[in-house]
Amino acid sequence: MKKAYLLLEDGTKIEGTPFGADTDSAGEVVFNTGMMGYPESFTDPSYRGQILTLTYPLIGNYGVPGDCKDENGLKKYFESNAVHIKGLIVSEYCKAPSHWHSKKNIDEWLKKNNVPGLAEIDTRALTQKLRESGTMLGKIVTDPNSPIEFYNPDKDNVVAQVSVKKPITYKAGTKKVVLIDCGAKNNIVRSLLARNLTVIRVPWNYDFFANGIKPDGIFLSNGPGDPMFVTQTHEIVKKSIESGIPVFGICLGNQIMAIAAGAKTYKLKYGHRAQNQPCMDLETGKCYITSQNHGFAVNEKTLPKEFKTWFINVNDKTVEGIKHKTKPIMAVQFHPESTPGPTDTSYLFDKFADML
């Protein structure tokens, strides 16, 4: 039987069985502890440049749904139009899935999208290693002597790779929201449209102020990579904060808002990637279970006096949300739009809509 290998930057070599595309690939090796939601995760632009390890022991049981779109032209069951992971590592994958939505198995899906997979890996042991040593660069290869170089997405502007290239408008209500697309998930757009808001989705570096767009609200999306790379977005968000227009951010949007306000961010040892992260609202004391996918966080000590910490992660006490003390400007590090994950915090979209 053919073998393939996961090579880590510390010299570790792990042997497994290849599936998916017959190609070598390199990226940052991260892990997700969720039990479901792989179609959404594979197509989440926040995973751009990363090799994803799934800890649940059997992946692909319910197959891969079709490419059908909703009334707004967004794919119903995926979070973007592409698979963004650089590779997949699992213990076992299901070759014969069963679900009425299923059109193919994940082996076929990865082949179609030229993404290699590696099975028969002790993903719990690999996760423990990454948790103790921190995320590492790695590569999936069929030959341990493959010339492919390690790839670090944090040294690249991966946001530019996943953002839309020109403005797109999704019409709903009379209130207009500019969505700064740094790798926005489809369900963010859907969640805004469901609140009867017209969404003007713009590229990460598009100065909508200079182009004469006058929105009622500004929304900063999720996205991949190091938030320090998108300096043009920082400048646009600075203008947004100064404008007095309501601003809301998610995930990378939380980090960009903090940087634009004058704070700093830092890389987490192994990040938060799961659908079971507990976060506490410091204003109410309520705790919510959230879906998360990020490797960077806001340095609380560097927040300017105009901002305060809004949410914290109950597990490690990292910042999970910030809020301006007097202006309608706020952001969260988790994903209130879910997909995959709990909808406990979907009310935050209502909160944003009410500010407009």
Catalytic residues: 251, 335, 337
Q: How many residues does the chain have?
A: 356
HEC profile for 155-179?
HCCHHHHHCCCCCEEECCCCEEEEE
Query: What secondary structure does DSSP assign to 61-110, as a single string?
Result: TT-EE---B-TTS-BSSSSSSS---SEEE-SEE-SS---TTEEE-HHHHH
The whole-angstrom separation of Cα 354 and Cα 173 is 14
Amino acid at 33: T
Q: From residue 293, give the alpha-carbon distance in Å to each of 40, 63, 96, 99, 326.
A: 12, 22, 28, 26, 29
Among 292, 299, 301, smallest CA distance to 332 is for: 292
Residue 44: what are its φ and ψ, rounded to 5°?
A: -80, 120
Q: Could you tell me whether strands 319-324 and 329-332 are parallel, antiparallel, or unpaired per DSSP bridges?
A: antiparallel
The answer to whether the beta carbons of residues 159 and 190 sit under 8 Å apart is: no
Q: From residue 94, give the alpha-carbon distance in Å to each of 62, 302, 341.
A: 8, 46, 21
- Which stretches within 218-345 are classed as H helix? 231-243, 252-261
